[in-house]
Amino acid sequence: MEATDHLRDSLSAAVALANVFGGEFSQGRVRSAGDAAGVEASLRLATWRIPEIDLPTFAAGGRELYGVLRLLVDGRVDAAADGVNALLESTRAMPRLVRDGDEPWHLHFVSPGVSAATGWLAEFATAVAMVVGSDWSRLRQCGAERCDNLFLDTTRSRTQRFCSTSCQNRTKVAAHRARRP
């Protein structure tokens, strides 16, 4: 796996976790309370080994990540950097090279006394930090009504406007109905 693949996966998982706990609306509906299934789905974007889900820790971190990512979307990069620094400091997790069996060495954020949830939050905050210091223009908020989801625009043309086809279809149907006499 290339380093850029790992960063992309961690950033995608960070955005997904932020969407589980942040914002008022998701895909046209009032956002439901975040749950362990949402956390697990987010983690699966970055790992195949899911730790025990510490919901309060992931929820607090997810809300913080959402706030930081919203600052980036709004162009408030300095405030986002402050938020990422605060999140990184709060995790107290230290980067460490880890090797599982015959797999290559890779970076994890684990240290004695730090929970798996905190380690994952540190990894996600680090992925966001890498974006703050580079090109964050691919991070967007969904353009649909009643959707506060954030997403990474992975299209070549950088023209993605919606977090999902559900939001895209809702918007297009509403526009079609508005044009009808």
For the chain, list the domains and their CATH numbers: 3-179 (1.10.3300.10)
The per-residue pLDDT for 104 is: 82
Tell which residue, 168, 164, 175, has the closest CA to residue 19: 164
Task: Mark residue 28 as left, alpha or beta (left: phi above 0; alpha: psi -120 to 50; beta: remaining).
Answer: left
Tell which residue, 88, 91, 80, has the closest CA to residue 139: 80
| Mean pLDDT to the nearest integer, 149-164 | 89
Measured in whole angstroms, the distance separating CA 81 from the mean position of its chain's CA atoms is: 16
- Is the Cβ–Cβ distance between 12 and 45 less than 8 Å? yes
Its pTM surpasses 0.85: yes
First to last CA, the chain: 54
pLDDT, tens digit, 9 for 90 and up, residues 30-70: 888 899 999 999 999 998 889 899 999 999 999 999 999 99
pLDDT, tens digit, 9 for 90 and up, residues 17-27: 999 999 888 88
- The whole-chain average pLDDT of the chain stands at 88
The H or E element that residue 126 is part of is helix 116-132
Place 1 in a pLDDT band, splitting at 50, 70 and 90. very low
**Percent above pLDDT 90 for the chain:** 48
The position carrying tokens 């620094």 is 85
- Is the Cβ–Cβ distance between 144 and 173 less than 8 Å? no
